[in-house]
Structure 1
Amino acid sequence: MTLSSVAITTEQEQLAEAVTQFSARHAPIDKTRAALDSIASGELPTWWEEFTAHGFHAVHLPEEAGGQGGTLADTACVIEAAAAALLPGPLLSTATASAVAVLADSSATALLGELAGGATAAVVLPEDSAVRAARDGAGWRLSGSISSTLGLLAAQKILLAAHAADDAVVWFALDARSAGSGMVVEQQRGTDLSTDVGVLTLENHPVDTAISGIDTERARCVVAALTACASAGTVRKGVETAVDYIRTREQFGKPVGSFQALQHKAAVLLVNSELASASAWDAVRAIDESIEQHRLAAASAALMAVCTGPDLTLDALLMFGAIGYTWEHDIHLFWRRATSLAASLGPVTRWGREAGELARTLKRSTAINLGDVESEFRAKIVTVLDEASKLENETPTDDLRAPGLAYGSQRDLLADAGLVAPHLPAPWGVAASAVQQVIIAEEFDKRAMVRPSLSIAEWILPTILNSGTDEQRERFAGPILRGTQRWCQLFSEPGAGSDLASLVTRAHRVDGGWLVNGHKIWTSSAHAAQFGAMLARTDPDAPKHRGISYFLVDMTSPGIEISPIKQASGESHFNEVFLTDVFVPDSMVVGEPGQGWDLAVATMAVERTAIGNYVTNDRSQALRRMADADGPDHDSVLQALGGIEAHTTAIKAMVLRETLRLVQGQGPGPTSSIAKYAMVLLLRRASTATLGLTGRLAMLEVSDPPVIKPYFDMPSELIGGGTAEIQLTIIASMILSLPRK
């Protein structure tokens, strides 16, 4: 079992694997343990020269400087893989310093050449520096100290941000080998045993020239992004190791991985590890975006990948029981690294506040620069959407939560062009590939056009198209796509919720069709639907998962009684449906009788994917409104808002990363199941923060901003598509391959 890394292309995966193999050959953990004292003193590993000869440290540096000419995303793969292997030494500090140096103008040319040649380095941001810079003729004099810095003792070059008399930030490249000329580097006892940590004191230290052109905000983003990659790799390795352990460790004659409590704990760890990896990847890819977008991505990565690292690695350690807490077990070395990395970025409040301030007016962009890829396809989409943007949908939505349910002239045009559900095959869609779907989404966003929604039919239509008859496809596909036909899903029963195979609704064959008797529950939109997709048992003697058939039911049929279920919110989005001798003709059976279970599984797979897309909804409306006003709790509101937006950004990045992997020709991964539970975590996080900070507004059912209504609507999302516990069980068994009972 291997969790996702920040690598998304075949070349990046090969690069990461090369680093992993190098680490296994030259720096296995037993050798690292034997060298802890030399590592702490800043002594370079014996393999550093060979490592740099391969160019691993300089993947992102320009070729003219002696680097490999790759991207920051390529170097992120190196850092993440090295962290997962617990590769000791100055890689992270050196790669981060050189990535910041790349931001400079030609004044950094000599420095980049040295770094590409294998010189080690560390970078010090303004907030970690109390160094003052004073003019001294044509040069400078530096005095002051810096905070504890990772990799400082091993560094031959120190890229330092100092403060000039006018409080301007001035960058310098110090030669650590000139210690003695007013420069003192002191060793400290570090938390992370796989790298050194030290402090620097300068007293009238002379420097000839400054490094110019570095955007300090961009530098801060680069540091946070690469630190997030190292933390994500550390967390990933901890989770993988713990899951491998519980898969085989036995107690009471069974693998402990078969115990539900540990399965769910492992599944939650997987979800959080994937969120960490996705947010780290997103912060790296933002290097080419606006500084505001990069700041939001970096702050999100700091919160989701770095600040969470210690707790996630500790949870992995605890899965080993007492053995994981021993000095001899390697898991504590990863725990130490995660803790040190989190500390290196400063207080978590700093990043929460920054993300919250940005989130007041900014959303993380998911746009992808595709260049001229599929230019002809894009031109066709532009033509259709330009025409559609001039039309209206004359029939508005009856659900304010779903503006995409409106229909009329605009939607008719989009349906005819195959753009209502473009992933479907022609003539219903355009069989859009992953990259074509990205293009379509971008063009809709450019025009601020609401994309049409199929609502529940989004989960049902693919089943009809794939397994239905020509008559069924002809009768239902067009009206569904045009929005004139609403559907519901008649699956759940009072005694068969998540365990659908236990359903007892019966269908008995009669002349020309079937008579159905039973009781369905939790049926969304049954009161507004013209048709429903229903499961009923047609062979009571068949095994549990067999003998079930898939029916399409006219909701106006005699014998159907719909009874709304009033929710705690006071709304009635769900219904009970009673079926008494309801006749369903043979023409409304999908597939063959007895194939219903397989068809239902396909339907539910689409459903869970669709639910993961709920991240597009705004979960922070109340907090965003509060953040716009001053008050004693303003800072707490900003930090809460920042945490929610960071979580939202991580889910978006997870889905986007999966899309890009599909674009690269890779097969689909487990993202939909993971995103579903990640949404559960987000909903609970958002509701807890909102209730805790809006105070007395939660005493009122109606308020401005709304607090209680979205809170009381939340269970429908938490339960829809399967409870969180069922989802965790699916993740544990299907993704982590943990043993069943």
Structure 2
Amino acid sequence: MSIGITDEHQELAASLRKWATSLGAVEAVRAAEGRVDERFDDIWAAAEEMGVAAIALPEAAGGGGGTVLDEAVALEACAYELVPGGLLGAAIGAIVTGTPGRHGVQVHPGGLVWDGGTAGAADALDGLDLSARHGAPVEGGEIDERVRRTAVTLAAAEASGVARWCLDTAVEYAKVREQFGKPIGSFQAIKHLCAEMLETAEAVTAAAWDAACTADAADDEQWAFAVDVAQAVCFSGAVEVAKACIQVLGGIGFTYEHDAHLYLRRAVSLRALVGSADSAATRLTEAAVGGVRRRVDVDLGGLDEPLRAEARATAERITGLPAAEQRAALVETGYLTPHWPAPYGLAADPVTQVVIDQELARAGVARPDLVIAGWAVPTILQHGTDAQRERFVRPSLLGELTWCQLFSEPGAGSDLASLRMRAERVDGGWRLTGQKVWNSVAERADWGICLARTDPDVPQHQGITYFLVDMRSPGIEVRPLREITGEALFNEVFLDDVFVPDDCVVAEPGDGWRLARTTLANERVAMASARLGKSVERAVDLAGAGLGPVEAARVGHAVALATVCGLLAVRTTLRAIGGHGPGAESSVAKLLGVRSRQSSSELVVELQGDAVAATGAIERDADGLAADVWEMLNTRCLSIAGGTTQILRNVVGERILGLPR
């Protein structure tokens, strides 16, 4: 949950936070209130001795021999503890000039000299951020683009540190502060606010991490793109998290005695120093129109070398087959589902999965989408009988069987424990009666995975059983549900005394709740695509045809959010490659992804003005505005399907942040 993903970076951050705590940084900031002549010399001396600002310099130049990413990890840790006294300016100056020391840096013509007041300038200014002393503006002159990008990159790391402190502080307070006899963290409003803080903090951290990663790469175009994403996302994001922290803290957060306002001041000051987020967003639009996308190349540390040749040869062999034979070849090789156990997959570790993905993509082989089978079959693999695996797994992989999911009911959507469909024991099996709803592809499915209540006399979670239902069975009626798009992609399914034999019960009666939450222990990992998503790409196309400055900035913000969603997936994959379980990125990725898809599809329609009011036929497969309106309407389901956004925020609050129920 910080910029550093590797063990080494996490150890660096922990060490520096421990060191920074020993400095009494916040106490020094408070003691310096109103004293513009205070330059935090004692803290600077300690930082200089530690070499914090020179981590990215070569050892021959008096530095630590590290990378810009190493420096970003360090600055994030120091900002978490609100270390004052010019570390940011010194780090920027060290990278730009190649020399360590106490630097002041000017990023914009006529703008303040960052940390100039702690670097020895006589005209130190007393500003909003009580932990900094900036210098008076210097008029004239051109600012080197490398200076600006370096400044935004490292300032984004500080913004991440500020956001992390604010999130942690709010969550810890919400766990212990009681109102109405309960911890306030148990109230849904507070839980949602903290979950939203986590979403924003993860976005800030991912963008800051990526800007620092690309600063060390040779691709100037990619660095420029990543820096603009960071400028568009990180600073306003840190301000929002700081404001939300004060909101959770309530009255105590509004007092001068609490430290929360010091972090809000740092966040607002950083945002002012780096410049307009809209300007960065406009540059992103221009870059995207020109074909630039963020392409993340992951260093697998040589672990891929023993795997690469075989994966490439297999992928090339598959792509050389007729299209009709490629799916079967993917199944035979295990490349369709490499994370599944043999003989249906390869039990592939994360590195192997990434290599296979890369080589299939290079060869132009597209995996078919398993749709609901991707949820049903893992449950059968892990909990089913040998006979069930033999009967269902391979035919499903080959596309010979189509599945639907019969979980939700009119009175039990996200709350599956409240489902009412009953299953009664009969000779040789069970009789199922009830209604299911929101079932995609049920009209053409061969089989359905179905939860039904088999014991009404035990606690709700214990009386549910997991059935495999033949959708051709007598007593099943499928009725289409017409959605707001005008199409019927979902169905409601009525089961009237439908017989399901015992050999179609997965695991034991009463195990249904546990099985419904099954995932394979070796989960799927994948690198994010460079594409921005359907609606964002469409918005970029519209921008290429010409938009006003306000609209161009809005498109750029959509590009930034879509890019961040991809970065979250990359960070999750890198954690897996490093042997770690998924972090908070994977938990908030759906929430941010839904926001991106919904807001970008709405933006596309807005960009086309009042023509939408006269749009007649709305069709998914149409061209232009008719298809755009269909997409805008259709994406409204994303914050409902698979658990509503509100329910997911409850889950994030409780399982990730540890807030009480």
Q: How high is the TM-score relative to the length of structure 2?
A: 0.93
Q: Which residues of structure 2 form unaligned runs of 5+?
A: none
Q: Given that residues 5 and 571 in structure 2 are in contact (C-alpha distance below 8 angstroms), is that contact kept between their aligned partners in structure 1? A: yes
Hey, what does 1:120 align to over in structure 2? 102
One-letter amino acid matched to 1:195: A
Matches of 2:457 and 2:431 in 1, distance apart?
Answer: 18
Is the Cα contact below 8 Å between 1:32 and 1:194 reproduced in 2? yes
Q: Does 1:92 align with 2:92?
A: no
Pairing partner for 1:71 from 49, 67, 72: 67
CA-CA distance at 1:371 after TM superposition: 5.1
Contact residue 513 and residue 583 of structure 1 kept, 8 A: yes
Question: Partners in 2 of 1:571 and 1:321 — Cα distance?
Answer: 47
User: Is 1:590 aligned to residue 506 of structure 2?
Assistant: yes
Inter-CA distance 425–380: structure 2 relative to 1 (3 Å threshold): same
Percentage of matched positions with identical amino acids = 39
Identify the residue that residue 32 of structure 2 maps to in structure 1: 35
Distance in 1 separating the partners of 2:180 and 2:459: 31
Aligned partner (choices 112, 120, 145) of residue 148 of structure 1: 112
Partner residue of 2:130 out of 190, 193, 197? 193
**Is residue 530 of structure 1 aligned with residue 446 of structure 2?**
yes
Give 1:515 deviation, angstroms.
1.3
Distance in 2 between the 1:614 and 1:461 partners? 29
The match for 2:212 among 274, 281, 284 is 284
- Counterpart of 2:559 in structure 1 is 645
Q: Does 1:382 align with 2:309?
A: no
Residue 560 of structure 1 is matched in structure 2 by: 476
Q: 1:10 aligns with which of 7, 23, 31?
A: 7
Per the alignment, residue 443 of structure 1 pairs with 359
Matches within 5 A, 1:210-289: 216-287=144-215, 288=217
CA distance in 2, matches of 1:250, 1:524: 44
Does residue 373 (structure 1) correspond to residue 303 (structure 2)? The answer is yes
What does residue 606 of structure 2 align with?
692
Matches for 1:566-645 after TM superposition, within 5 Å = 566-602=482-518, 617-630=533-546, 633-645=547-559
Q: Letter of the 1:154 partner, please give it.
A: T
Structure 1 residue 573, shift from structure 2 partner: 1.2
Q: Which moved more, 1:320-329 or 1:543-552?
A: 320-329
Matches within 5 A, 1:725-736: 725-736=646-657
Change (3 A) 1:306 1:201: closer
In 2: Cα distance, 1:732 partner to 1:68 partner: 39
1:460 equivalent to 2:376? Answer yes
Q: 2:268 is matched with which residue: 324, 339, 346?
A: 339
Q: For residue 314 of structure 1, what is the aligned residue in structure 2?
A: 243
User: Residue 415 of structure 1 contacts residue 428 of structure 1 at CA under 8 Å; is this kept in 2?
Assistant: yes
Secondary structure of 2:607's aligned partner: helix
Q: Give the C-alpha shift of residue 356 in structure 1.
A: 1.4
- The answer to whether the aligner puts 1:299 opposite 2:220 as a matched pair is no
- How large is the Cα RMSD of the aligned pairs? 2.5
Matches within 5 A, 1:200-211: 200-201=137-138
1:716 offset after TM fit, Å?
A: 2.5
Q: Identify which range, 690-699 or 192-201, moves more after superposition.
A: 690-699
Aligned partners of 1:274, 1:646: CA distance in 2, in Å? 14
In 1, the alpha carbon distance for the partners of 2:508 and 2:487 equals: 38
Over 3 Å counting, the alpha-carbon distance change for 1:614 and 1:696 in structure 2 is farther
Partner Cα separation in structure 2 for residue 472 and residue 584 of structure 1: 14
Q: Which amino acid aligns with 1:718?
A: S
Cα distance in 2 between the residues matched to 1:620 and 1:604: 32
Q: Which has the higher strand share?
A: 1
- Identify if the C-alpha distance between structure 1 residues 635 and 697 changes in structure 2 by more than 3 Å, giving closer, same or farther: same
Q: Provide, for residues 620-657 of structure 1, a one-character-per-residue CA deviation record: whole Å limited to 9, x for no partner.
A: 14322221112xx4322321121111111112111211
Mapped pair 1:664 → 2:661: no
Contact kept in structure 2, 1:149 and 1:344, CA below 8 Å:
no
Q: Residues 221, 203 of structure 1: CA spacing in aligned structure 2 closer, same or farther, 3 A cutoff?
A: closer
2:425, 2:46 → 1: CA distance?
75
Within 5 A, what are the aligned runs for 1:420-439? 420-439=336-355
2:656 & 2:543 partners in 1: Cα distance?
39
Instruction: Pick closer, same or farther for the CA change 1:628–1:496 going to 2, 3 Å.
Output: same
Structure 1 Cα separation of the partners of residues 282 and 365 of structure 2: 32
TM-aligned CA deviation for residue 37 of structure 1: 4.6
Equivalent position amino acid for 2:84 in 1: P
Work out the CA distance in 1 between the residues paired with 2:251 and 2:499: 62
Q: Does residue 471 of structure 1 match 2:471?
A: no
Aligned to 1:539: 455
Deviation at 1:615, TM superposition (A): 8.8
Residue type at the aligned position of 1:424? W
Contact 1:615/1:651 (8 A) holds in 2: no
Between the aligned partners of 1:391 and 1:203, the Cα distance in structure 2 is 64
Change (3 A) 1:614 1:499: farther
Q: Is residue 598–residue 632 contact of structure 2 (8 Å, CA) maintained in 1?
A: no
Quote the residue 1:160 is aligned against: none
Q: What is the number of equivalent residue pairs in this alignment?
A: 651
The structure with the largest alpha-carbon Rg is 1
Tell me, in whole angstroms, the C-alpha distance in 2 between the residues paired with 1:238 and 1:601. 32
Q: Look up the equivalent residue of 1:304 and give its one-letter code.
A: V
Task: Tell me if structure 1 keeps the 8 A contact 2:438–2:492.
Answer: yes
**Which residue identity is paired with 1:551?**
F
